[in-house]
Amino acid sequence: MGLQDIRMPKGANTSPKRVGRGVGSGMDKTSGRGHKGAKARSGPGVYPGFEGGQMPLIRRIPKRGFNNRAFAEEYSIVNVGKLSTVFPNGGEITPEDLLRKGLVKKHTKVKLLGNGEVTVAFRIKVHKASRSAVEKVKSAGGEVELIA
């Protein structure tokens, strides 16, 4: 079988409906858009939540409570099991090293979690660490230093 024998499945390549191409097509004149109004015009329609001029639900219901999302701190999570594979010789590990090796994607604070096994001794500097992660690193002869 060669590339020349490959065919698309039936119905995969359908042409878009050609509207406004004469009376015989069955899609002439208004081309399925009805008569006049915003939906008959080209360009964007109404915004999500628009209720035809009626006061929208989102503005009718009362706004209550407090939301702390704007002040929440974002942490990148690293499991101790990954450290052994990425840093097989152990040594000192900083958040910059984790970023350089691709264990964290953004330059955010780092939290160390205890999923996986530690095989070599590390001296790792992170912003937060779970109790199990600290125990596993210390049992392997390493040390966890919390930075501000």
For residue 113, the cross-strand partners are 79
| pTM: predicted TM-score of the whole model, two decimal places | 0.57
**pLDDT at 15 (0 to 100):** 86
- Contact between 133 and 112 (Cβ < 8 Å): yes
Within the chain, which residues score under 50 in pLDDT? none
The topology (CATH level 3) of 71-146 is Ribosomal Protein L15; Chain: K; domain 2 (3.100.10)
Buried-state track 103-123, b at ≥16 Cβ within 10 A, e below 16 = bbeeeebbbbbbeeebeeebe
The full set of domain ranges for the chain reads 71-146
